[in-house]
Structure 1
């Protein structure tokens, strides 16, 4: 390898005097076992750093500040800093069963298993707030050096062997994360903010933009905002140096926002826009507002229900399987009541009926709002769908009332009865409805919804005791 490097230098007209092995390349090997608990890791080395007591304390405080904000209390990223001279690479980031992990944690004098550490830190005023991140996982993340020395068990505690001090000269920084982008941002911030205490390290990124104001004045404003800027060329372009600590700058407009802040938003002169436009409602929203007024006039009360619900609400309680619902699942639901985005408005209305069972009968409710459906053809994999849903709850099912509401809606939508270019209903089977009491609604020769009498199992599932009929229509078909 040394000979190849010598030949490469010679090709570029350079004469190689000496090759010094300083082990600049430090590798972190990530095992597949980490995928289920903390899949990402990035690392960096600060060499020949000069710590004073103030610099050291500032370095530790920076980690804690980052842990609380960008790292979201260590859930997204956990930072570990180590004295590189006490350990040797390459390093291994893996995951093991708690009882198989044993090391001496920071500021302790004896070894503990990971299981014992979790019990030990349950009463710790600082670390107990982070135990929940991994305590229920079958495997805990762990980082070893090439000699099997434990560097850290993220996101809980570092090992005592590699702890840094005021006398540390070379610092190894590792960031383990559930979000790779956040890990890179955090690592960039730490390295950039403390690189000034190292003899040689430069990190920068350049971006050119053409300002409408004086180039010199904008450059001065940006420099005041800690974005080092200078005018380049004769065409008024500005070269802006963006430090890695400014992870929020991702476009030229972010830079101009900083310039506006330095100038003062209240000092910007008000001008008349060069274009003349008239705002207008989206057709779908306009249709929705008009229908709300007429449905209320028809004697139905509008309800506004949650966009999130449980899997049971849109599947089991309606006699369906969750895999057939095209539901969008929430990756980290806080409660069982908010596991998925609703695929139908019906459960929300039925739960509203259950909460108002003591009100005088009949209860007539409706809602016009969006449901969310999986759709692989969209850029986000899902789409909103505006629907109308109404329910009639009484001692008798009231199918004729629901059918009458359908006729009124179609009259408002200017769709005539009839099989050709009109609307009609046709018998259908649906597990949510009573057998033989369900119909599909056809409009313009396409299925646009359903109506019928709900199945007794659905009634019981939502803790209701009387018959109920329902109407469900896709409004986007009529635009």
Structure 2
């Protein structure tokens, strides 16, 4: 389950009111989320890297909410999506209508996919956000959402890699090709020197964040690359973007490209990104189409932003959840979850509209679950199941239970420990030298508590 870090004051400002920590925790629970921790940036750095870190001295003391989000709710991975979801849930905001449009000139930007890409990364989708307005906070959120998507649905860029570019610094049509590493030359993001593909691999071989992505393409004879009509390289997916087209606070038009080994995941990522940040466009909730041309000559328009309809029976909702809601109430509950619904067939069924930002809804069961969340799990009456089953204890657990009591009576204390522990736990605190302890050390531990396996 992903955890997002949101600045409390920015969150409350966007929600239009302030909450006590317990009050907000209750709202999160009702919405199907969990407020995991109330902390600060300084506390987070200290927890992960210890007290003797220079970063902690300059870190902010601003309150941060760490919120656990369901792994398939990609629309809740940023401040914009979380605020929108909560406001709709509280009936303070209508469900937005997303729309993909063609440019006023009628001429679409085009991304042409070359045949050699099938050797390494065969799919690509693209879109344009026009007349967007960035602030520092919006810019940071835009970058952070990309990182969250990369770590989640993109599976650390192995399935999908996102590239975002200042459209006004490049010129279409754009080309997605695969070339030998020595034939790819450009200045990487935030660098001032040109490198070829092999040089890029050497440059980032020890980079804290990017080194993990190098093996995705390193052993291929060709590397994927996106460039414009003038030959300017936009990105070397899934490693790094080019410095020429980098986005700044002054960027007004954004060209978004997603290259992938999984086309379905690429569509979801693109839909999520444009739905969340089209709110800042001059014409909110509108996105400009891009035309993608594949080697076989087929043309596709992205983003799809597809709405679809599902029909569910009210009686089945009540039977599965254990409620007695009528059709109108069920429709209202679903609308709170961004699933606009209409009552049909004399109140026996609901026609549910699934928007493009709810890619987690893939079956009627997901709709039933959203009714349960909006209704409130704590409000559902507890009942004895109407069916009876025969079960038996797992043999290993049975043996453990039989041994546990006599061993405890013999004076022993049972302890359940983590597989990983800190270096201090097995060395300094025991008066031993860490070099003398046979153990497996984690090269980049996430926190001080989990540094080695002993």
What interval of TM-score do these two structures reach, taking the shorter chain for normalisation?
Answer: 0.5 to 0.7
Q: Distance in 2 between matches of 1:133 and 1:57?
A: 26
Structure 1 gap segments, 5+ residues each: 1-18, 280-479
Q: Hey, what does 1:289 align to over in structure 2? A: none
Deviation at 1:218, TM superposition (A): 1.4
Deviation at 1:211, TM superposition (A): 1.4
Q: Hey, what does 2:360 align to over in structure 1? A: 248
**Is 1:140 aligned with 2:223?**
yes
Q: Hey, what does 1:474 align to over in structure 2? A: none
Aligned 1:50-89 pairs, distance under 5 A: 50-89=133-172
Indicate the SS of the match to 1:244.
coil
Checking the alignment, whether the CA contact within 8 Å between 2:151 and 2:157 is kept in structure 1 is: yes
RMSD: 2.5
Q: Distance in 2 between matches of 1:192 and 1:24?
A: 23
Q: Hey, what does 1:30 align to over in structure 2? A: 113
Q: Distance in 1 between matches of 2:196 and 2:218?
A: 13
The equivalent position to 1:109 in structure 2, one of 165, 169, 192, is 192
Checking the alignment, whether the CA contact within 8 Å between 2:327 and 2:347 is kept in structure 1 is: no
Deviation at 1:167, TM superposition (A): 1.4
Q: Distance in 1 between matches of 2:228 and 2:332?
A: 48
Deviation at 1:236, TM superposition (A): 4.8
Bigger relative contact order, structure 1 or 2 (CA pairs below 8 A, ≥6 apart) = 2
Deviation at 1:246, TM superposition (A): 1.8
Indicate the SS of the match to 1:151.
strand
Structure 2 gap segments, 5+ residues each: 1-101, 287-304, 316-324, 391-454
Q: TM-score, normalised by structure 2?
A: 0.53
Deviation at 1:268, TM superposition (A): 4.4
Q: Distance in 2 between matches of 1:232 and 1:74?
A: 43
The equivalent position to 1:121 in structure 2, one of 187, 204, 218, is 204
Q: Distance in 1 between matches of 2:103 and 2:365?
A: 45
Q: Hey, what does 1:263 align to over in structure 2? A: 375
Q: TM-score, normalised by structure 1?
A: 0.51
Q: Distance in 1 between matches of 2:103 and 2:374?
A: 47
**Is 1:224 aligned with 2:307?**
no
Aligned 1:459-474 pairs, distance under 5 A: none
Q: Hey, what does 1:39 align to over in structure 2? A: 122
**Is 1:235 aligned with 2:338?**
no
Q: Hey, what does 1:167 align to over in structure 2? A: 250
Q: Hey, what does 1:356 align to over in structure 2? A: none
Indicate the SS of the match to 2:257.
strand
Indicate the SS of the match to 1:27.
strand
Q: Hey, what does 1:411 align to over in structure 2? A: none
Deviation at 1:162, TM superposition (A): 0.7
Checking the alignment, whether the CA contact within 8 Å between 1:192 and 1:243 is kept in structure 2 is: no
Residue-pair matches, total: 260
Checking the alignment, whether the CA contact within 8 Å between 1:104 and 1:111 is kept in structure 2 is: yes
Indicate the SS of the match to 1:138.
coil
Deviation at 1:92, TM superposition (A): 0.7
Checking the alignment, whether the CA contact within 8 Å between 2:120 and 2:217 is kept in structure 1 is: yes
**Is 1:157 aligned with 2:270?**
no
Alpha carbons of structure 1 residues 271 and 235: separation in structure 2 relative to 1, 3 Å: farther
**Higher Cα Rg, which structure:** 1
Alpha carbons of structure 1 residues 91 and 23: separation in structure 2 relative to 1, 3 Å: farther
Q: Hey, what does 2:446 align to over in structure 1? A: none
Alpha carbons of structure 1 residues 217 and 188: separation in structure 2 relative to 1, 3 Å: same
